[in-house]
A and B are shown apart, each in its own frame.
Chain A
């Protein structure tokens, strides 16, 4: 499919134009927003889209103001910790359970798995209030464990990992067992490396979800010391805010930077990691 560059054909030209056009559609709105941030307050934003930033210093002033006046940096740390702990927990507990559900048989396996899958159909909005009341009763409000623990048993994560682990050939498991590997060793040395692509995908998904999660931190972490990035941004987003729109946009743009860096730094690893698992196929 690739590496068939035999001169410039109309097809190649069309392909490049299309690819570039889509890149403009994807990127221009973001570029536009950056221009809004790096502009003086009070300039119109939705009309006559500005193509270039007009005032770099105004933008940096705003960023500085936001860092100085809100707990933005602390919120970065909280959100990052929240995301990392959640990813670690979801991957560990999910893969342990998926290993069993996908590769072994034991009494109750089908029933337990069916219950978990059924819970996938229940919208998370249904459980927010009861989970919140439970968390409050345990005394976990305004704590990291209150943010993280209730989200660790991800039914979706289990579903996804089971889908992938099913593809692991049973004889590989048997072979490892004959070599004298313990049950846990088989999980750790055989199953986990084989579903690395699924784990990477699940990790990105979980990162995006925790980073963007709004409702749960909002009611569980009510103290400013525990605010996540989403909540700090929420302070700027109220419709009757006295802030000018460029300040609001700055607060929002800052929230997008960590996920952006995360992707740009790891994108090669992510895609290669996913692609390298050529063991099946």
Chain B
């Protein structure tokens, strides 16, 4: 079909081809970059700002075109994995650091180390240290530039707290404090918290109240989990304690948000993406809420998880210019504008320190939340996590909460099972 139309266009086509190849010599960088982002980044005002970034970049790089393409979470991964298999990868793309290992495995991510080292020190110093370290599984290997991210927050419904007779002016200082408030809420006939055992990330959020990155995630060298049995026992006991206080819905369910909006649920641990819903509810129905840090076992310790999205670059002829683009959009100037417009946290520490940005309440709390939080599936970029892993964590957490195991047995059995899963 293609040949036919080329033949028909005849001499004109050949002339055009010649002209095009000559133009190619004149502007050495006549390329189109495919830039894949989460769908959130390709809609509304977020898209408008991204397009501003693109305009500024292409103005400085004549001959370069950038196509921004939005995709949903799993679709992004599926598209990149399939694209790697068929040699049709986007040139520069977002994804979560936690799927980095799969993308390295299929050859979707270029090692950016030498390009990175060639950047000025001032650029390299901008990023959040832990977010950057997560992109570097080994010395001289850098698979991403940290981009956006989140630390989980504790949303509090102030009306519910008031009904339960709780002084909401200070956030709970420790787990004991928080748990006492949950019980008071229950005593007032309301729900304290969603069922945190239903989703991997909410289990991690509660684990983080006692544990830390070092006792969570993977020991890839020995293919074992880093979960500590003593800490897990303690955490499972918390799930047992919360059993009668919770809504039975998961942190991600719409029903959970609805209970919160309709003043029946006191606490919701989740990321900043829920805020637009609650802000709309505040406007529509007068919901009174705030967001604070998730308290840990001792005062000063924070629970919750953090996770970063990254920008990766595919290996290939466009890798140089794609990296330049990636470096441009992750730079302070752009990330500060991004943060200001959308009130969303990101991994550019310099941008977060900008006074205009750090004055935004959601960002202010998010910076502290991310610093105190636990990495959700570290270390990244080494090996892909088998699907049995998350499922096992959820299974044993919920089974223990149901009373099928004592917390001690549950922790022991869970860790054995996790090690067996990783050993496969």
Contacts and interface: CB of A to CB of B under 8 A. Distances in A.
Q: Do chains A and B touch in the complex (CB under 8 A)?
A: yes
A236 B70 CA distance: 10
A237 B262 CA distance: 23
B38 A238 contact: yes
B293 to A, nearest CB: 20
Interface stretch (B23-31, B101-109, B168-176, B271-279): B271-279
Contacts of B40: 238, 241-242
Interface stretch (A42-50, A87-95, A187-195): A42-50
Interface stretch (A6-14, A117-125, A128-136, A256-264): A128-136
Interface in A190-215: 215
B281 interface: yes
Q: How many A residues touch the partner, as a band?
A: 35 or more
A219 B86 CA distance: 10
Interface in A226-246: 231, 234-245
A181 B217 CA distance: 74
A141 B86 CA distance: 10
Contact of A241 (B42, B90, B273): B273
B287 interface: yes
A222 B271 contact: no
A132 B78 CA distance: 12
Contacts of B254: 45-46, 245
Interface string B63-85: 00001011111110011001101
B403 to A, nearest CB: 28
Nearest to B150: A240
B261 A219 contact: no
Contacts of A45: 254, 258
Given A42-B277, A43-B285, A222-B79, A240 B73 contact: yes
A40 B284 CA distance: 7
B283 interface: yes
A234 B273 contact: no
A110 B284 CA distance: 67
Contacts of B75: 218, 231, 234
A235 B42 contact: yes
Q: How many B residues touch the partner, as a band?
A: 35 or more
B280 A42 contact: yes
Contacts of B281: 42-43
Given A235-B43, A245-B254, A44 B261 contact: yes
Contacts of A219: 78-79, 82
Contact of A224 (B69, B73, B82, B83): B69
Contacts of A44: 257-259, 261-262
B252 interface: yes
A151 interface: no
A36 to B, nearest CB: 10
A225 to B, nearest CB: 10
A41 interface: yes
Nearest to A246: B280
A243 B73 contact: no
A227 to B, nearest CB: 9
Contacts of B90: 222
B120 interface: no
Contact of B85 (A41, A42, A47, A129): A129
B287 A239 contact: no
A179 interface: no
Contacts of A43: 261, 281, 284-285
Interface of A: 40-48, 69-70, 129, 132-133, 136-137, 139, 141, 215, 218-219, 222-224, 231, 234-245
Given A44-B259, A44-B261, A245-B277, 5 more contacts: A43-B285, A44-B262, A132-B85, A240-B73, A245-B257
* Minimum-distance CB pairs A-B, first 4: A42-B280, A42-B281, A136-B86, A44-B258
